[in-house]
Amino acid sequence: MLESFTAGALRALDRARARARMRGSPAVEPIDLLAALVDEPESRAALLMFEHGLNAERLFQALEATSVTTDETDQEHEPLPQSASLRAVLGDATLQARSVSRSQNIGTEHLLAGLLRSPGPVVELLAGTGLALGALRDRLNQASTSEVASLPMPSDIPPLELAGPSEAVDLGRILDASANRASEGLRVVEDYVRFALDDPMLTRRLKDVRHRLSDSIRGLDAELLIGSRDTREDVGTHIMAHNEHVRENPRAVLTANFKRVAEALRSLEEYSKLVDVWLAARFEVLRYDIYTLEKLTLTAVAAHRALGDARLYVLVGALPTLGDLTWIVGEALAGGAQVIQLREKGLPDREVLQHAREVRNLTAKARARFILNDRPDLARLVNADGVHLGQDDVTVRDARRIIGAAALIGVSTHDRSQLDTAILEGASYLGVGPVFPSETKEFDDFAGLEFVHEAAHASTLPCFAVGGITEENVDEVLQAGARRIAVSSAVIRADRPRAAAAALREKLDALWQS
């Protein structure tokens, strides 16, 4: 990945490692990268910050740091690892650079954009140094698109040569109609994600694509587009498919408009090659981004349909006998559990299948969801509703190839980087934790309530807080923003499992009804 960074960006990352080492930090954090960017006053990132009102002296006082060089501190040591927060920043920086060209290198201005897109101490610190954050964000978005748009056209590509004015008008009509279809379709899609899904991450991504589309369309000749428009004589306005005015539900509207946007972008891409090949490449990038966003959005829609009101998820397994297992599952379901996960470690596959088939029967009768841990192959054999994967298990992509496109796939996440990756890979729901020490599983680190809060505001994809949650501490978890929880010991080791599940369900129901 580092080969995609400019020399200036690489120097900034080196300085960030040096600063982290001086602080005695076990990993490089976003705050180290911020200081490193300001350390080089001639970098594009620093110039942009100074231009927008950054008071460097106030910043360094807040950081309690002075300028360092990599020669003095870092070259003699093994490089420090990057924290999950910094990896998320670098991921956002890469997206910022790739938003206009897949071959664009990541510079210091993209690193700065990544820092500003990640809420946390960096943004809070900059807000107190006189920096105009909103204006700087807008400038970074404009800069990344205008630079690519202004690149000179290679000399070996001939200029546009049309046979005559009528051919130019024809081209203008095609580009104008396609630009309008793409813009209108994107707005319809964004409205669904914003108001129906209420998803901040997807809304932000769609808004970003819509602004990039507007910037790209401005690269076309506006006079040609408007001058060529002839809606009254457009034969297409009078030709209607038999089902064009019929939409069964909002999801059908969403799907139709995703297709409309992709088709319009392909038309823009192909016909703008006659005008500007670099502009055509930008439409191509947008088309691929729409394919990804379509997958993420429809995955979220399917997850909400399958798990919309599921709030109590119980993990069972490692019980002495099959009879104990079926009794516990029955009691948990009677107490209000809506999802049951079977997690059996160390048993032969035949026994796992036997247990899974029993749990499948019980959950089917109770109209609850059944998830099998780790094993998409066995989940398919028992017709489970889905599979749950850990960070060391097969990928979401590979699991789908085994269990099928319609299955639920959950992923355990322990930090923001893992959460973002799971969403982008197409997870149906997320396990968020561990929140507290658990009686059934050992952990070296705990994500804690802070990660629960962060996950709750990152996406509306179903997120289940997990790890050591009990009736005694569940209120803390709900106050942190969780609306769904996954428990194990709190139910399966309770003296009265049904009552334990019911008590947790009652607290969740009260939250959902408030």
Q: How far apart are CA 290 and CA 293, in angstroms?
A: 5
Catalytic site includes residue 4? no
CA dist 419 → 282, 447, 449, 452, 461 (Å): 28, 12, 15, 11, 11
Phi, psi values for residue 219, rounded to 5° = -75, -15
Contact (Cβ atoms closer than 8 angstroms) between residue 43 and residue 8: yes
Phi, psi values for residue 82, rounded to 5° = -90, 140
Q: How far apart are CA 150 and CA 101, in angstroms?
A: 13
Half-sphere exposure of 505 (CA within 13 A, CB side): 20
Catalytic site includes residue 343? yes
Alpha helices in 163-239, H assignment, sequence order: 165-191, 200-217, 222-228
Residues in Cβ contact with 457 at an 8 Å cutoff, skipping those fewer than 6 apart: 200, 481
* The amino acid at 121: P
Q: How far apart are CA 100 and CA 307, in angstroms?
A: 36
Token digits for 247? Answer: 């939409």
Q: How far apart are CA 434 and CA 413, in angstroms?
A: 9
Measured in whole angstroms, how far is the alpha carbon of residue 81 from the centre of its chain?
A: 23
Neighbours of 260 (CB within 10 A): 17
Q: How far apart are CA 398 and CA 31, in angstroms?
A: 36
Neighbours of 313 (CB within 10 A): 28
* Contacts of range 87-90, beta carbons closer than 8 Å, 24 or more positions apart: 87/417, 88/118, 88/416, 88/417, 88/420, 89/30, 89/33, 89/114, 89/115, 89/117, 89/118, 90/1, 90/114
Q: Which member of 380, 441, 483, 507 is catalytic? A: 441
Q: How far apart are CA 155 and CA 304, in angstroms?
A: 52
Catalytic site includes residue 428? no
SS (H, E, C) 245-290: CCCCCHHHHHHHHHHHHHHHHHHHHHHHCCCCHHHHHHHHHHHHHH
Residue 8: which of 110, 151, 144, 80 has the closest Cα? 110
Q: Round to the nearest angstrom and report the end-to-end CA distance of the chain.
A: 46
Burial class (CB in 10 A: 0-12, 13-18, 19+), 32: buried
Quick check: helix, strand or coil at residue 376? helix
Q: How far apart are CA 330 and CA 358, in angstroms?
A: 11
Active-site residues, by number, are: 343, 412, 441
